[in-house]
Amino acid sequence: MIKKALLILVSFGILSFQTDSDKTTHEFTKSNCYGSYQTKGGRMEGNYISFYKNGKKKAEGTFESNYRTGIWSVWDTAGHIRMQRDYSGPFSFRQIYPPSASPANQVIQQYSKEGYSEYFQLKEEMIVWSKRVWRELTPDGNPLLFNNNRLFAVLYKNIQNHSITAFDITDDEFRNELQTIADSSALTITGYKVKEDCFFDNVRKVSETRIIGICASGMNKITGKTGDLFWVYMPEIRKALASEKLQNKYLPSRIKTLDDVFFYRYFCSLIYKESNFQNKPIAAYTPEQNIKSESERIETDIIEAEHNWWLELAKP
């Protein structure tokens, strides 16, 4: 008999428990819907399903390494299917329903001469919904970034040779350049913070998340002090990250460099802040025992926001 570890977390409508296949199932409840999703190794992996408050199914599909894959469907509150897609890649899908004269949205990935995947060119009028969030990445679940100090070594080397710029830890707007940073041999890297924008593109009809910057955090081995070290601006560091090649037969085929890890979101993270009027992190307004569930609440809000836009697109 497979034993289940129940009730790891119950708060803000979130319940997490272990299932077979080393996956964790998370249940959530919102004001207008409820449902569940699965993770593995801290990444979205497995079934996702949500229901309206009247019990009718709202959305269903499968995630693989944080991205949608295979058949995804959304229904209206009366139970009528309104959108169905077959995903072949993070931004590529074939529209099954409603029938379309141009059913396929195939995005051919272009690579820059520096070796990283180029972003799809956007215009302001294409963005119909957006949310800014900040995440924390720890060694747990992120060996590609932390083993042998891999990510920090690349950042530190390029800061030292002036290929990229380090910014003050209080400046995630990237205006105040740091003149000096601590010697890397005196540091133990404990984590990274990531600032990013999530948005819905009304031309490609998909949601996307783009990282704006990364902040390294660590402990000084001499003084014992811990804290943030510096911010770097993502568009400026992509060339350096793309130069760090990854070779592991267990990685998805699209993960070939450190830049791919971030571009394709092949990492484990926890949201610690969403954009708000007072710029407060979750910890400033949520009891410590509920921080993780509040982070999960924001995560599913982003997913359901895309489903809401699919329903909007399907309106006659």
Instruction: Give domain status of residue 160, yes or no.
Output: yes
Query: What confidence tens digit (pLDDT) does each residue in 24-50 have?
Result: 999 999 999 999 999 998 899 999 999
Residue 62 burial (CB count, 10 A): 19
Instruction: Give domain status of residue 161, yes or no.
Output: yes
Q: How much is the pLDDT for 182?
A: 83
**Residue 87 in this model has a pLDDT that exceeds 70:** yes
Taking the chain, what is the end-to-end CA distance rounded to the nearest angstrom? 50
**Residue 9 in this model has a pLDDT that exceeds 60:** no
Q: How much is the pLDDT for 21?
A: 63
- If we measure between CA atoms, which residue out of 116, 148, 136 comes closest to residue 235? 116
- If we measure between CA atoms, which residue out of 129, 109, 127, 128 comes closest to residue 119? 109
Q: Could you tell me the pLDDT band of residue 171, with boundaries at 50, 70 and 90?
A: confident
Q: What is the mean pLDDT of residues 261-265?
A: 96
Q: What percent of the chain has pLDDT over 90?
A: 77
Instruction: Indicate the residue type of 190.
Output: T
Number of compact structural domains in the chain? 1
- Structural contact between residues 106 and 92, judged by C-beta atoms closer than 8 angstroms: yes
Instruction: Give domain status of residue 295, yes or no.
Output: no
Instruction: Give domain status of residue 228, yes or no.
Output: yes
Instruction: Give domain status of residue 56, yes or no.
Output: no
Instruction: Give domain status of residue 92, yes or no.
Output: no
Instruction: Give domain status of residue 237, yes or no.
Output: yes
Query: What confidence tens digit (pLDDT) does each residue in 203-252 have?
Result: 999 999 999 999 999 999 989 999 999 999 999 999 999 999 998 888 99
Q: Could you tell me the pLDDT band of residue 18, with boundaries at 50, 70 and 90?
A: very low
Instruction: Indicate the residue type of 69.
Output: T
Q: Could you tell me the pLDDT band of residue 102, with boundaries at 50, 70 and 90?
A: confident
Q: How much is the pLDDT for 7?
A: 31
Query: What confidence tens digit (pLDDT) does each residue in 111-159 have?
Result: 788 889 999 999 999 999 999 999 999 999 999 999 999 999 999 999 9
Instruction: Give domain status of residue 23, yes or no.
Output: no
pTM for the model:
0.90
**Domain limits for position 225:** 125-275
